[in-house]
Amino acid sequence: MNIFRLAGDMTHLASVLVLLLKIHTIKSCAGVSLKTQELYVIVFATRYLDIFTSFVSIYNSLMKLIFLGSSFSIVWYMRYHKAVHRTYDREQDTFRHWFLMLPCILLALLIHEKFTFFEVMWTFSLYLEAVAILPQLVLLQRTRNIDNLTGQYIFLLGGYRGFYILNWIYRYFTEPHYVHWITWISGLVQTLLYADFFYYYFLSWKNNKKLQLPA
Amino acid sequence: CVQESQKDEL
């Protein structure tokens, strides 16, 4: 494990903790897209199908359990916890799951490294993760008033993707045969989706102003 | 192994 990979995992973990903090202690999910969170549940559930069959390290297994557990609990809170559910922007969060999932299923069936059940599901999870943030970004555009925790959540999530790209570059130059086009391209697409958000995040940070996206 | 190296990421 290199420093970029570790930094990526830690920012990912931090993003989840920030979101749980907002939901658990402030009892609010205002500005958070349930559609995106449900897509993340599907992403982790399809990617970590091998959690009981292949062992890499205690660290890996533990992180997999954390990401599965936290994404399930965030969705549970937003759907079933009365106080949290009341703060959910249901009317604004209208993105259709299938609109994103169907192309990813088709793409995974067409473009994969091996045509096996686990491999296609794993590839599907990569494609879906790349676009899972879209409902969240659309919701931000619509509500426009973004509180600090929601802004930090998306910033950390984008940071996680950025560090993973550095990790891939590092591994490409240090490990023989480390070439994974599917992972890289879907990872790059995912990171580019954050570019616009990052631009306005830094702008508001530089001017010391509240984050606001243009209409 | 080419196939396995990407599965050690999260």
| 8 Å CB contact between A186 and A118 | no
Find where tokens 């299923």 sit.
A105
Q: Which residue from A30, A28, A68, A25 is spatially nearest to A49, judged by alpha carbons?
A: A68
Nearest to B10 among A67, A114, A171 (CB): A67
C-beta atoms of A175 and B3 within 8 A = no
User: Which residues are paired to A145 by β-bridges?
Assistant: A212
Q: Classify residue A79: in a domain, yes or no.
A: yes
Q: Classify residue A212: in a domain, yes or no.
A: no
Residue A155 identity: F
* ipTM of the complex model: 0.81
Q: Classify residue A214: in a domain, yes or no.
A: no
C-alpha A27/C-alpha A21 separation (Å) is: 9
Residue A96 identity: R
Q: How many domains does chain A have?
A: 1
Residue pLDDT tens, chain A, 215 long: 899 999 999 999 999 999 999 999 999 999 999 999 999 999 999 999 999 888 999 999 999 999 999 999 999 999 999 999 999 999 999 999 999 999 999 999 999 999 999 999 999 999 999 999 999 999 998 987 789 999 999 999 999 999 999 999 999 999 988 999 999 999 999 999 999 999 999 998 888 888 888 87
**Which range of residues forms the domain containing residue A174?**
3-206
Q: Classify residue A213: in a domain, yes or no.
A: no
Q: Classify residue A58: in a domain, yes or no.
A: yes
pLDDT at residue B4 in the model: 56
Q: Classify residue A171: in a domain, yes or no.
A: yes
- Residue A202 at interface with chain B, using a CB cutoff of 8 Å: no
